Structures are given as C-alpha cells and as structure tokens.
Copies of this chain bind each other. A is one copy, B any other.
Amino acid sequence: MDNSAQIRVAATKLFALRGYEGVSLQAIADVVGVAKQTLLYHYPSKESLRRAVLNNVFEHWRRTLPAILQAVTSGKRRFSALTDELVRFFSSDRDRARLLARELLDNPEDMQRLIGENLRPWLLLLAEYIREGQKVGSIRADVDPESYVLHVILLVVANVANLSTLSMSLDTSGAASDAIERRHLKELARLARSALFVR
C-alpha cells in the first residue's frame, strides 16, 4: 500500500472517530509517519482528502451492491436477507457507518448527490419489488416502499455507527458486549422483517 492509500485509510479512521473538523492534517500525518506536507503533496487540500475518503466508501458500496441485490431478489428468503446484508456490509467496517452518519450531518449537499447517484436507483428498484410483493399479497399493503427502504438503511447505519455506545445502555446483566451487540442487531432484523411481511 503506497503512502497515498495509507493516508486515505488513516484519514478515514480519524474522520470516522473524531469528525472532519476534529482532525488536523498533522494528526493524520503523525499516524502515517510522514510530514504534514507529504500529505498535502498527495491531496492538495484537506477538503480533497475528505472527498477521496468519501468516494472510497461509496466505491466499496458500489462493488458490494450486486451481492446485496442478489440476496434480495433470488432464493426463497428474499427480502429477509436485505437487512442481514446491509448489517454485514456496515459491520465489516464500522468506520464506514460512522463516516456516513457524520457526513450526513456535516456535509448534507455532497451526501445528497452521492445518495442520488449511488443509492437512489437501487432504492427505486427495491421499492418496485415491494410493490410486486404487495400485489401478490406477501407484503403488507400499508408499507410505503421507498420510505421503508430508506428507514431500514438509516436504522442500520445509525445502529452500527453507535453500536458500542448503545449496547452499553442496553446491558442489564454483565453480559459480554459483543453478545449484547448481536442481540440488538437481531432485533433490528426482526423489526425490519415484521414491519414488511404479511404474517
């Protein structure tokens, strides 16, 4: 991995942890072990580094999208697998979810464009599948297809981004934190599933 990629990876982690404004170029350079000016050689400004980080996250998304779509449209589990696949994608690297949750708040204009380009076509396609399910009676008639899909995605992003904080608040006994996290994500999947299908 060359320095350019190392810088991007370090920036992703730090931006996800402390936010764009909370991270100095010097802090990123220190982690990588280069001078701050080396960083500015690869990325001419802090803002260009932000965009590289964000583009990289959506690039992962585009590469993973086909697998997620396939899980939803083929086989017998169909839509039940949607939430599982989303949870898998974001859980495999929680910084992705944290970064997106932050950028939604910090950078709504850029995110609106990126959502429009990377999420919207897929969201409309899933909504169409839901409408078909409603016609044949397998999916509840009162579901708002586009809105439902958006809620499930936001719920997954928000939960994964804040999973350790939330699971602490859930703990009643002294259960292992990853067991509580699994329990919470399981209820997420149940919630999404049972709000969609006719019993």
Are A159 and B166 neighbours in the complex by a CB distance under 8 Å?
Answer: no
Q: Which one of A29-37, A66-74, A104-112 contacts B?
A: A104-112
Are B108 and A188 neighbours in the complex by a CB distance under 8 Å?
Answer: no
Chain A 126-154 near chain B by CB (<8 Å), digits 1 or 0: 00000000000000101110111011001
A20 to B146, CA, bound (A): 33
Are A144 and B21 neighbours in the complex by a CB distance under 8 Å?
Answer: no
A144 to B194, CA, bound (A): 13
A111 to B143, CA, bound (A): 33
Are B195 and A18 neighbours in the complex by a CB distance under 8 Å?
Answer: no
A119 to B165, CA, bound (A): 13
Are A106 and B194 neighbours in the complex by a CB distance under 8 Å?
Answer: no
Q: Which one of A38-46, A50-58, A85-93, A168-176 contacts B?
A: A168-176
Q: How far is the CB of A45 from chain B (nearest CB, A)?
A: 17
A169 to B199, CA, bound (A): 30
A147 to B179, CA, bound (A): 13
Partner of A190, one of B142, B155, B183: B142
Q: Which chain B residue lies CB-closest to A104?
A: B162
Are A154 and B165 neighbours in the complex by a CB distance under 8 Å?
Answer: no
